Amino acid sequence: DQQVKQNSPSLSVQEGRISILNCDYTNSMFDYFLWYKKYPAEGPTFLISISSIKDKNEDGRFTVFLNKSAKHLSLHIVPSQPGDSAVYFCAAKGFGNEKLTFGTGTRLTIIP
């Protein structure tokens, strides 16, 4: 039951360049999407979110884009920094629903 999919298990990006992490979903009832960052031996840390009524949300170096018709969202990090090296999870929830459905994660490595 892979309602949220992150098809790239890993991604390497040069420091200073743009990192683009992708996420696809199948459940059209999802109306809110979140990105989390996770370091080893720590819990997921909330990064940025977007409501289904928007197509873009920006917070500093992080921008999330949502394409509802394609059921696709992406996280852009620019410029990428060494501290951004972590596993990134996208997550989704439905209206009035509390649970988050997570993707399998993408391990981002920033190369100095």
Partner 1 sequence: EPEVTQTPSHQVTQMGQEVILRCVPISNHLYFYWYRQILGQKVEFLVSFYNNEISEKSEIFDDQFSVERPDGSNFTLKIRSTKLEDSAMYFCASSAGQGNDGYTFGSGTRLTVV
- In the complex with partner 1, the residue whose CB is nearer, 61 or 79, is 61
Could you give the CA distance from residue 34 to residue 49 in angstroms, rounded to a whole number? 4
| 53 binding partner 1? (CB under 8 A) | no
Distance of CA 89 to the CA centre of its chain: 5
- In the complex with partner 1, the residue whose CB is nearer, 46 or 111, is 46
Rounded to a whole number of angstroms, the minimum distance from the CB of residue 42 to partner 1 is 5
Please pick, from the candidates 11, 27, 32, 65, the single residue that binds partner 1 as defined by CB under 8 A: 32
| 41 binding partner 1? (CB under 8 A) | yes
DSSP class of residue 3?
Answer: S
| 27 binding partner 1? (CB under 8 A) | no
Please pick, from the candidates 53, 60, 70, 99, the single residue that binds partner 1 as defined by CB under 8 A: 99
Which of 107, 36, 28 is closest to 72 using CA atoms?
Answer: 28
Could you give the CA distance from residue 88 to residue 20 in angstroms, rounded to a whole number? 11
Q: Long-range contacts made by residues 42-46, C-beta under 8 angstroms, separation at least 24? A: 44/89
| 65 binding partner 1? (CB under 8 A) | no
Helix (H, G, I), strand (E, B) or coil at 82: helix
Could you list the residues that contact partner 1 (CB under 8 A)?
32, 34, 36, 41-47, 49, 51, 89, 91, 93, 97-105
